[in-house]
Amino acid sequence: MLFQGLLSLIAYLPLAGALLLLFFPKDAKKGIAYFATGVAALDFLISLPLFLQWDSSLAGFDERTIERLDWIPSIGVQYIFGVDGISMLFVMLTTLLGLIAVLSSWSAIKERVKEYYVFLLLLQTGMLGVFMALDLFLFYVFWEVMLVPMYFLIGIWGGSNKLYAAIKFFLYTLAGSVLMLLGILAVYFYYGARTGVYTFDIALLHTLGADPGFLALSKWVFWAFFIGFAIKVPMFPFHTWLPDAHTEAPTAGSVILAGVLLKMGTYGFVRFSLPMMPEATKLYAPWVLALSVIGIIYGALVAMVQRDWKKLVAYSSVSHLGFCMLGVFALNVNGINGGILQMLNHGLSTGALFLLVGIVYERRHTRMIAEFGGLSRQMPVFATIFMIITMSSIGLPVLNGFIGEFTILAGAFLIPPEVGISVLGWELGGKFWAVCGVTGIVLGAAYMLWLYQRTMFGPLDNPENQKLSDCSGREVLYLAPLVALCFWIGIYPKPLFNILDKPVAQIVQQLQGPAAPTGVAESLTPSRR
Amino acid sequence: MSDFLWLIPLCPALGFLVNGLIGRKLSKRAVSAVACGVVLLSFLLSVAAVAQLAAMPAGERVMENRALTWIPRVDSGGGPPGLALDWLYVLDPLSAVMILVVTGVGFLIHVYSIGYMWEEQGYWRYFTYLNLFMAMMLTLVLGGSFAVMFVGWEGVGLCSYLLIGYYHTRTDCADAGRKAFITNRIGDLAFVAGTLTLFALFGTLEFRPILAAVASGEGPYWVLAAVGLALFVGACGKSAQIPLYVWLPDAMAGPTPVSALIHAATMVTAGVYMVCRLAPLYLAAPVALTVVAIVGAATALFAATIGIAQNDIKKVLAYSTVSQLGYMFVAAGVGAFGAAVFHLTTHAFFKALLFLGSGAVIHALHHEQDMMKMGGLKAKLPVTHAVFLCGWAAIAGVPLTSGFFSKDEILWKSFLWSPLLWASAAATAVITAFYMTRLMGLTFWGRSRMDHHAEAHVHEVPGVMKWPLIILAALALLGGFLSVPPALGGDLMPFTLEGWLHPVFTPATYAASGHHGAHGGDAGHAGEEHGGHHGAAAEYGLMLLASTLAVLTMWLGWRLYDRHPEKAAAWKERFAGIHGVLKNKYWVDELYDAVVIRSFYSLCRAAHVLDVRVVDGVVHLVRNVTVGTSYLSVFWDTWVVDGLVNLTGRTVRAGSGVLRRLQTGLAQSYASAMVLGLFLLICVYMYMS
């Protein structure tokens, strides 16, 4: 069932839906919600074959789905859509979370309903475009386009401090992407000057990875891309837009923000920095690792003392994404596989956490942790789901978080000892990053279990909480797939590993470089007779 | 024929699913039938599996079952090897002992729980968690790799958390559950670090290849030692050793059968099990083993002293558990892994018995746990008292009871290692005898200190609770004959537990299977038994000494607490200072709270302030600078740029004011101006040419 044009269909269906929504009368709130849900559901359904019929033996992009058109021939801009195993998984994540986000908005959004769903659907097209674009220019266009609907979602339907958060989000990410644009142009002109072909085609630009002449320039380009991606991830110290944006955004916005938008940063590293600039990546990996590890610990520490339920979850994202970055910059199969899986896992479990906060917020109109307590008595179904997601978030085995964390750490423990930086005469490297990463295991448990205890356990003494109703059927319906996926990835992640196998191996090969024989790696792992 | 091993943990997992999903709607009878049924089934499967294992020749007793690929082997792209994990279950003599203990004792406690929990809210929830615990514990002991073991390891931790916090509307229960989980996680941090270091070293996480490599001398010594220590820190978390023991006494907030199952008989022994499982690794890095022995001995003595001064019946038993676990680590630490597992087994019998017995008391007294409000229960609870006597005899080490054999074995092995260690362990034994006698005295003997209302309602346990107690009492008395030490004629017995376990702890077994298939499973056997025949006289002497001391202490305790309680009170007065220290548990909890928790929380606050003031402060600074600059540029724009424009405008305007005068609108003046101009042009033209 895979055919040319499927990707465009998936990407633009939400856009078409948004355009049709414009013709709806403003007051047909139910109709608007149903229609948007239908569009999102259809989008998810037509994206399913991508996953179900995926050919795991593919290392590169699936030729069955690649679409290529000339767009601005004079400067070599093409319209290229295509997915490999890595981006396919993110496309699936986006269509799934997109559907769930729409479903979760039915009762949450009462004002300006039409515009809301239009923006939500536009956002989806933007995100899908980012994961599908195989032309750097096109990628950049989608990368920027996506900001606009998100800006409005936060700015119009957000909480009390929404304008501040929306503008901060927009400007901060925009600042990063301008630097990224510089990087893109540098790559474009270098490649054009070198080969005479001016193009933004990612497949061609990736060949720069093997070009020794690119090394000097790539040292600058790496940081240009880094700033762009690191703000999106967000990595410490570029993260402060996130708690505000997350906290102020409406539930669906937070879900999409945490579930998909943050992944674009990490995805960018995997897709562009690693294969295109392997030498610069290896050179600067220690610094990125240091920031990742700081992010893991720092995010967790700050999460610990938050009084706002949603802000706590937001800071936990900083910590979790630090894990993803630790994995990616371990620069071996375990780390990158784990990093990518953990991005998916974070999308599922943190997405679910935001949904759960949203459910309570809708009923109580507060997110202050101190307002709650003993809810498990009043909301047993909610408490059970929350418990499962909490356990997933802190990496309990048999749930998805463990698979991601454990493979990331397995990768981190394989970081060669010489990958380090020296601080005040101390050589920090190799195992140091790994051991710092492991502390995340304790810290995550600490803040999540404390949150759980303060909200769910204890006496149910706040009279306002004594009338709370448990999850409705619709709420269970949109949480159930997330819970099921958490278990599935935890117990049987094999299909995902198979999908990631070849593409990730290819990236690692590119990182090894043509000159480095396998012997180098063997010497790091002494004895496997 | 080992491909059914995965069914052993699966049975309770199914019980978990059934009760978890529809338990709310089932009757209590149905819930209990499901919960106990699946555990019984699991027990029967275990028996069948162990019977198969026993039929194999000694030294080759291994059954492997790769149930499912968990993380497939991936193309490493020329880099370091990818992590590959299978759901691998392995049955060998060690896990055989463990699954029989876990399912056997577990089944008895399930049955007992029916009676104990009958009146409680959320009956189905209790059995759901309990079944999940069984599944996880069996995964832990059957797991053939660090990863699978870790699944169980974390799973039992979760169940422990859920069951400690079972009465979750009570803040202390919820706190205790969280404390347990997080303390365990601190241990897990080290556990994961150790595990992954082994992965980086050997490229696998399965026990047998790793142990085979270690047994044949691979791996740098100090790395192995560090791994051994890191894993032991993990064990300290799970098995409540110094410095991570603090969660276990608090864990007593859970229902009493949970304390018996999880916090006495099974889960807390997981650390001991792991150290024994990795015997070849520890033998390759003896320095780690030394630390194990010292920490074990210190914990044993330390916890035992605290046990003297506790008034909560469950707290006494909790500290006693910490102490007995220390004993097991002493055994493991001196290389007597067989003795450790033997004591683990007998301890499972007698400590489960003691906890369930205390549960019977608490049940009878309507949730009264303070021994100061008990006394004289012997007459009212004859069965409970009788089984308690058995447990008391066993833990104190009365000759021929189970505790006697296993404890004596540990004492003897530690004496061979260092007399100092023996002295510490022997002192622990004496103190154990004392505080257990005190417990008996305060609870069952002497005069009643209950109020009349409570006294009137005291009732003996129902049958469903009675029979598990009686079976456990029998095991506590007779379980020692599983492994009679050679000095007492163990060589003549058809079966000894230590003989059965011996190949598991012998590096040669792994080295052999790693290289050229099985031969010489008994290679190291003769070497290790040297003490057995060397100093038989010394062994008898020490045995006699320890038993005599224990029995004397029991007699003394009996005199004190049954006959002359006023003397006990007088002693307490006399040593009020020491008593205060012990009663307050050396203020370790307070110390941790003041030092660790508070400084951690301050660190979090500091990070938060840093985030808001500095990290976000920089962002705001950038914003303010930008906004400030734009104000400046507005100023510039209004007064300079626009000023110039306006200046130009004004100049033009002023100029035009002059010129405007010329525009008179009169044709004559225009015509005369034109003529004048023409004339001037002609003049210029003529002049130029």
- Reported as a single tens digit per residue, the pLDDT across B289-333 is 999 999 999 999 999 999 988 889 999 999 999 999 999 999 999
Cβ(B473)–Cβ(B390) below 8 Å: yes
Window B:247-286, CB contacts with A under 8 Å: none
pLDDT confidence of residue A224? 94
Choice between B459 and A193, residue whose per-residue pLDDT is larger: A193
Tokens of B663: 């525009």
pLDDT confidence of residue A523? 38
Integer Rg of chain A from CA: 22
pLDDT digits (tens, 9 = 90+) for A73-99: 888 899 999 999 999 999 999 999 999
Contacts of B202 in chain A (CB under 8 A): 527-528
pLDDT confidence of residue A514? 59
Cβ(B168)–Cβ(B253) below 8 Å: no
The CA distance from A481 to the nearest CA of chain B, in Å, is: 17
* Full-model pTM: 0.89
pLDDT confidence of residue B41? 95
Window B:377-396, CB contacts with A under 8 Å: none
The CA distance from B78 to the nearest CA of chain A, in Å, is: 5
Residue from B193, B105, B179 nearest B141 by CA: B105
B79 touches chain A (CB under 8 A): yes
**Separation of alpha carbons B275 and B337, rounded Å:** 8
Share of chain A above pLDDT 90, in %: 62
Cβ(B162)–Cβ(B177) below 8 Å: yes
pLDDT confidence of residue A525? 41
**Separation of alpha carbons A267 and B40, rounded Å:** 50
Q: Report DSSP letters for B268-309, one per residue.
A: GGHHHHHHHHTHHHHHH-HHHHHHHHHHHHHHHHHHHHHHHT
pLDDT band at A319 (very low <50, low <70, confident <90, very high): very high
The CA distance from A290 to the nearest CA of chain B, in Å, is: 17
3-state secondary structure of B494: coil
pLDDT band at A520 (very low <50, low <70, confident <90, very high): very low
Window B:491-550, CB contacts with A under 8 Å: none
- Chain A interface, mutation test: which of B139, B196, B224, B616, most A Cβ atoms within 10 Å? B196
The Cβ-side half-sphere exposure at B112, using a 13 Å CA radius, reads: 30
pLDDT confidence of residue B1? 54
Inter-helix orientation angle B616-635/A162-195, to 10° = 80
Cβ(B102)–Cβ(B80) below 8 Å: no
Q: Name the residue facing B83 among A334, A402, A445 (closest C-beta).
A: A334
Q: Name the residue facing B69 among A337, A411, A494 (closest C-beta).
A: A494
Enclosing H/E stretch for B437: helix B419-444
Torsion of CA B240, B243, B247, B248, to 10 degrees: 30
Share of chain A above pLDDT 70, in %: 97
Contact A501 B75 (CB under 8 A): yes
How many other β-carbons are positioned within 10 Å of the β-carbon of residue A515? 8
The CA distance from B657 to the nearest CA of chain A, in Å, is: 50
Q: Is residue B45 pLDDT above 90, yes or no?
A: yes
Q: Which residue of A has its CA nearest to B230?
A: A435
Share of chain B above pLDDT 70, in %: 96
3-state secondary structure of B64: strand
**Separation of alpha carbons A88 and A94, rounded Å:** 10
Q: Which residue of A has its CA nearest to B622?
A: A172
Contact B71 A527 (CB under 8 A): no
pLDDT confidence of residue A518? 42
Helix-strand-coil percent breakdown of chain A, rounded to 5?
A: 75, 5, 20
Contact A459 B616 (CB under 8 A): no
Q: Is residue A386 pLDDT above 90, yes or no?
A: yes
Average pLDDT, integer, range A33-43? 94
Contacts of B603 in chain A (CB under 8 A): 301
Window B:604-633, CB contacts with A under 8 Å: 604-605, 607-608, 611, 615-616, 618-619, 623
Inter-helix orientation angle A400-412/A333-364, to 10° = 140
Q: Is residue B517 pLDDT above 70, yes or no?
A: no
> At a CB cut-off of 8 Å and minimum separation 6, what does B312 contact?
B252, B369, B370, B371
Q: Name the residue facing B151 among A236, A397, A409 (closest C-beta).
A: A397
Average pLDDT, integer, range B589-603? 89
Contact A527 B151 (CB under 8 A): no
Q: Which residue of A has its CA nearest to B514?
A: A529
Q: Which residue of B has its CA nearest to A458?
A: B169
pLDDT confidence of residue A123? 94
Q: Name the residue facing A457 among B154, B174, B618 (closest C-beta).
A: B174
The residues pairing with B143 across neighbouring beta strands, listed in sequence order, are B89
Q: Report DSSP letters for A385-438, one per residue.
A: HHHHHHHHHTT-TTSHHHHHHHHHHHHHTTS-TTSEEEETTEEEETHHHHHHHH
pLDDT digits (tens, 9 = 90+) for A389-444: 999 999 999 899 999 999 999 999 988 888 878 777 777 777 888 888 888 888 99
pLDDT confidence of residue A1? 62
Sign of the dihedral defined by the CA atoms of residues B401, B402, B407, B408, in that order: positive
Window B:209-228, CB contacts with A under 8 Å: 213, 218-219
Q: Is residue A515 pLDDT above 60, yes or no?
A: no
pLDDT confidence of residue B513? 63
Contact A457 B169 (CB under 8 A): yes
What is the overall mean pLDDT for chain A?
Answer: 89
Tokens of B643: 């000023």
- Chain A interface, mutation test: which of B75, B172, B233, B618, most A Cβ atoms within 10 Å? B75
Q: Is residue A526 pLDDT above 60, yes or no?
A: no
Burial B290-323 (b: 16+ CB within 10 A, else e): bbbbbbbbbbbbbbbbbbbbbeebbbbbbbbbbb
Torsion of CA A337, A342, A344, A350, to 10 degrees: 180
Contact A504 B77 (CB under 8 A): yes
What is the overall mean pLDDT for chain B?
Answer: 87
Window B:124-183, CB contacts with A under 8 Å: 147, 150-151, 154-155, 158, 161, 165, 168-169, 171, 174-175, 177-178, 181-182
The CA distance from B164 to the nearest CA of chain A, in Å, is: 12
Contact A414 B219 (CB under 8 A): no
Contact A406 B197 (CB under 8 A): no
Choice between B530 and B258, residue whose per-residue pLDDT is larger: B258
How many other β-carbons are positioned within 10 Å of the β-carbon of residue A307? 12
3-state secondary structure of A167: helix
The CA distance from A36 to the nearest CA of chain B, in Å, is: 33
pLDDT confidence of residue B353? 94
Cβ(A251)–Cβ(A88) below 8 Å: no
- Chain A interface, mutation test: which of B171, B192, B195, B602, most A Cβ atoms within 10 Å? B192
Q: Name the residue facing B79 among A298, A332, A446 (closest C-beta).
A: A332
Q: How many CB pairs under 8 A join A and B?
A: 189
Contacts of A501 in chain B (CB under 8 A): 72, 74-75
pLDDT confidence of residue A245? 92
Q: Is A159 exposed, middle or buried (0-12, 13-18, 19+ CB in 10 A)?
A: middle
Contact A507 B615 (CB under 8 A): no
| Separation of first and last alpha carbons in chain A | 46
